[in-house]
Structure 1
């Protein structure tokens, strides 16, 4: 079940990546919903994902 939440979170973040404010909002929700090891996986995925969308790099300060 937790893996489903992680996959859902990635899906939502991909869909809202057109708007940095919405992206941050969903990222904050993810921080509350995911388990610690899932957050580590999400951080790695976000590094990869934001390399393709540099306008989202400043949004990553939320998870630091």
Structure 2
């Protein structure tokens, strides 16, 4: 099981490359618990929002759309 702290370390290590960052963020969103995902989202915007705002929005918007489909 992946922990939130581990995900943060990985994202920091791959933050030099937008594609890798997006790939690892998507993977993290799929594997973390929902409360961890919320915490991850806040952390991502705080830590990487200036550089990867569009990537972060894309990944978390995709999650929101999936949640809306499941709720229907």
TM-score range, shorter chain: 0.7 to 0.9
Runs ≥4 residues deviating over 2 A: none
Question: Normalised by the size of structure 1, how large is the TM-score?
Answer: 0.84
Give the total of aligned pairs.
60
Greater gyration radius: 2
Q: Which has the higher contact order (CA 8 A, sep 6+)?
A: 1
Question: Normalised by the size of structure 2, how large is the TM-score?
Answer: 0.75
- Say if 2:59 is the partner of 1:62: yes
CA RMSD of aligned residues (A): 1.5
Cα deviation 1:20-60 (Å, max 9, x = unaligned): 00000000110111000000000110111124xx2211111
* Contiguous gaps of at least 5 residues in structure 1: none
